[in-house]
Amino acid sequence: MPPAPRPPGAVAAVRKPYFYYGHRRPSQNRPVVFGGLFTNRKSLPFSAADRLSGDRPSKPRSHPTIDFRNWDPDLSSPSSSSSLPSLPDSDRRLSPLARFICDSFRRHHRWCPAVLTELNKLRRVTPDLVAEVLKSRPLLPPSLSTRFFHWAGRQKGFSHTFASYNALAYTLSAAGLFRAADQVPELMLAQGKPPSEKQLEILVRFHADARRPLRLFHMYRKMRTRFGVSPRRTFLYNRIIDALVSCGRLDLALEVYDDLRSDDGLKEDAVTFTIICKGFCRAGRIDELVDLIGRMRSEVCRPDVFAYTAMVKILISEGNVDGGLRVWDEMVKDGVEADVMAYSTLIAGLCKAGRMEKGKELFKEMKKKGFLIERAVYGALVEGFVDGGQVESGAQILKEMVDDGYRADLGIYDLLIKGFCADGKVDKALKIFQIVIMEGIEPEFSTVLPLLITYADGHQMDMFYQFVDRINELGLPVTDHLSSFFTAYLVKGGREMKALKVFEVLKSKGYCSVAIYNILIDALHKVKEVKKALLLFEELNDTEHLKPDSCTYSLVITCMAEDGDAREACSYFNRMKENSWTPSVAAYNSLVRGLCMMGEINAAMTLVKDCLGNVTSGPMEFKYSLRVLDACRSCKPEKVIEVLNEMVEQGYPLEDIIYCTVIHGFCKYASLGEARKVLEFMKKSKRLTEANFIFYEEMLNEHLKKETAGLVISGLKFFGLEKKLKWTTSLDDIS
């Protein structure tokens, strides 16, 4: 019997695929679910009419979608509407969603609707994702991180976790907004997440790393009193106390220490005692330190050699040698065996303080115990003996060092050479220098300087020149060494003529340079030997292989201006300008002063402006002169006097340029009477002597004549009457 015919709808129902045979045809109510980190809902863009008729549209509309499973900024196509720029390599460790969010922030640089559009493409943002984005590198600016944090909190069913709160605090603290980071516990409490010890630990770490002891203590007090959150581990107490002690806030650290002692269930450990002991060492409170060591010994444990060494090192670095010896005695009383580091620390401190007997005693104790003595210990002993004037004892330490199998470094040899030269034992110093050469050590300037100075002071010029030749044979920079020698030799006054004689012979041997000329010219100028300084300059100028530099010209300008030859100094100033050189401030000062004494006020004012425009920190007198000039424009002597009084109150002297500026300003912007009023006031206030008042009054009259003559000549040039002016002048000459 044939089977009964099926209705048409049944055939369609059998052929309709469902989840057993594969993915069903997607619709708005039946999404297709792919695997991966999250789902991506795809649906067909049916219109309302299409859904009613059941017909599939011939041309489906394009709907931009992002498959976050395969999203990679480096592989996005330029034509895609969601193409994003590449992220830095530091973001490769982030998840794809975190990279997507960070890239959106990086592209837009601010919180804007475009960012919201990108974020709304995400189906859900988890608290872990928020924490990951906030702690990404580079960190987001606070304007983005805080808005993103609050945007995530407004999602339906979303609740921040401790990780996201901590990430927000981390971001704010890293951006320098530590006060805002301290408000995170209040935000947690307002959103139903009471802060815990973890939040306190995080904020303590931030403030400790940034060395903000007062803010750290304030945060600790606020968490303890307002939120009832106090450290439940001795480790956290130690972290707080150590941060306060390292920043020099021992008083606050002791308050936290008292809280630790009063806290039930917690007790100080060896680390706590050691930290407080270090604080007492820095504060120099030795009696309290000894008492605390006794408490530590009775309540916890005996301090070990590392704790004692740390205390001795702090006391020695603070210059408290007596305190270091007292702690050393406590260590011996406890029966703690000192190691090499402890001995080295104490011996170095004793030698630096000049207590060589105790240092040598400990040194012998080290050798007796068979310790491997470090080279730094030998160096400290040698330096201490040399500074104390016991150079022979220092040489004996060097001998012991060599016998023990060590090789001395250049620093120890330099100390002994310096010490023997200071004692006048040049022969021994020269022997040590020869040992340096034999051992293949390249000497430095500090090695040869004491010998050069000793030979020059002792008038042993033959030995001096032989030693210079020896330096040249060793391949050392002789010219640089000689320049440094003259600089160091002329530090002590009264050696200028002797240095000049030494240079004369060195010059004959070919050892000369522009730097040496500059050093000698400067030294001669300081002792008022201007003529000899100018002779050296002329000699340098006539040398074929050496030419003056900008420093030379600046020194010569100063010498000539102070010698009364300001016009010649101006010619050298013009040469410097032709070579695009900038004179020194001292050259500007001397030249301006010389021009003021000559009555060339306009040229002096031009130099003042040129100086302030070319140097980074010009003289305050020049700056005040411009203020005086600006006050003269008001045509009120009271304002000028007010500026001059301010100068006197600030401790700046009233130089010639100040009075010349008063004359120049009132002659240019006002009249003769206002300038005379200022000069009379300065004379009445005894800031200007009678002789100087007469001098500046004559300068005022002369400057007014020059300004008037300049205006007349300018008018004649304007009307084209220059020929008549020359003709009249020639007639006057004939008559």
Question: Taking the CB of residue 64, how many other CB atoms lie within 10 A of it?
Answer: 8
Rounded distance, CA 438 to CA 408, Å?
Answer: 13
Q: Which residues of 534-546 are buried (b: 16+ CB within 10 A; e: fewer)?
A: bebbeebeeeeeb
Rounded distance, CA 433 to CA 183, Å?
Answer: 67
Give the pLDDT confidence score for residue 341 in this predicted structure. Answer: 92
Assigned domain for 475 exists: no
Rounded distance, CA 675 to CA 586, Å?
Answer: 28
Give the pLDDT confidence score for residue 76 in this predicted structure. Answer: 42
Domain boundary among 393, 408, 423: 408
CB-based contacts of 514, cutoff 8 Å, min separation 6: 540, 546, 547, 548, 549, 552
Give the pLDDT confidence score for residue 1 in this predicted structure. Answer: 45
Element (H, E) at 86: none
The verdict on pTM exceeding 0.85 is no
Assigned domain for 659 exists: yes
Question: Taking the CB of residue 527, how many other CB atoms lie within 10 A of it?
Answer: 14
Query: What string of DSSP letters covers 292-326?
Result: HHHHHHHHT----HHHHHHHHHHHHHTT-HHHHHH
**Of 218, 225, 283, the residue nearest 250 (C-alpha):** 283
Instruction: Please work out, in degrees rounded to the nearest 5, the angle formed at the alpha carbon of residue 20 by the alpha carbons of 18 and 22.
Output: 65
Rounded distance, CA 513 to CA 546, Å?
Answer: 7
Residue type, 260: L
Assigned domain for 372 exists: yes
Contacts 24+ apart (CB under 8 A), 344-349: 344/374, 344/376, 344/377, 345/309, 345/312, 345/313, 345/316, 346/312, 346/316, 347/377, 347/380, 347/381, 348/316, 348/376, 348/377, 348/380, 349/312, 349/315, 349/316, 349/317, 349/321, 349/324
Domain boundary among 362, 377, 408: 408
Rounded distance, CA 199 to CA 334, Å?
Answer: 41
- The answer to whether the CB of 624 falls within 8 A of the CB of 652 is yes
Joined together, the tokens standing for residue 626 give 């411009």
Rounded distance, CA 41 to CA 34, Å?
Answer: 8
Joined together, the tokens standing for residue 16 give 């309709």
What secondary structure, in 3-state letters, does 153-196 show? HCCCCCCCCHHHHHHHHHHHHHCCCHHHHHCHHHHHHHCCCCCC
- The answer to whether the CB of 296 falls within 8 A of the CB of 326 is no
Residue type, 500: L
Joined together, the tokens standing for residue 270 give 């060896």
Rounded distance, CA 503 to CA 710, Å?
Answer: 51
Assigned domain for 187 exists: no
Give the pLDDT confidence score for residue 346 in this predicted structure. Answer: 92
CB-based contacts of 672, cutoff 8 Å, min separation 6: 666, 700, 701, 704
Rounded distance, CA 116 to CA 104, Å?
Answer: 10
Rounded distance, CA 256 to CA 241, Å?
Answer: 7
Element (H, E) at 541: helix 530-542
Residue type, 128: D
Domain boundary among 356, 378, 408: 408
Element (H, E) at 124: none
- The CA-based dihedral angle spanning residues 87, 93, 94, 99, taken in that order and rounded to the nearest 10 degrees: 10
Instruction: Please work out, in degrees rounded to the nearest 5, the angle formed at the alpha carbon of residue 238 by the alpha carbons of 233 and 240.
Output: 105
Rounded distance, CA 433 to CA 421, Å?
Answer: 12
Assigned domain for 238 exists: no
**Of 194, 98, 107, 91, the residue nearest 152 (C-alpha):** 98
CB-based contacts of 381, cutoff 8 Å, min separation 6: 347, 351, 356, 359, 360, 363, 394, 397
Using the Cα atoms of residue 701, residue 703, residue 708 and residue 709 in order, give the sign of their dihedral.
positive
Assigned domain for 209 exists: no
For 300-326, the pLDDT digits (tens) are 888 889 999 999 999 999 889 999 999
Joined together, the tokens standing for residue 605 give 């004012």
**Of 648, 651, 677, the residue nearest 665 (C-alpha):** 677
Which residues of the chain register pLDDT less than 70?
1-92, 707-735
Assigned domain for 351 exists: yes
Instruction: Please work out, in degrees rounded to the nearest 5, the angle formed at the alpha carbon of residue 625 by the alpha carbons of 624 and 626.
Output: 90
Chain CA centroid to CA 309, Å: 32
Rounded distance, CA 391 to CA 381, Å?
Answer: 11
Assigned domain for 685 exists: yes
Give backbone dihedrals phi and psi of 599, rounded to 5 degrees, phi first.
90, 10
Q: How many domains does the chain have?
A: 2
Give the pLDDT confidence score for residue 83 in this predicted structure. Answer: 38
For 567-611, the pLDDT digits (tens) are 888 998 999 989 889 899 999 999 998 888 888 888 888 899 999
Scan for tokens 């995530």, then name that residue.
152
Angle between helices 426-438 and 410-422 (to 10 degrees): 160
- The answer to whether the CB of 420 falls within 8 A of the CB of 435 is no
User: Which residue segment(s) compose the domain that 655 sits in?
Assistant: 630-734
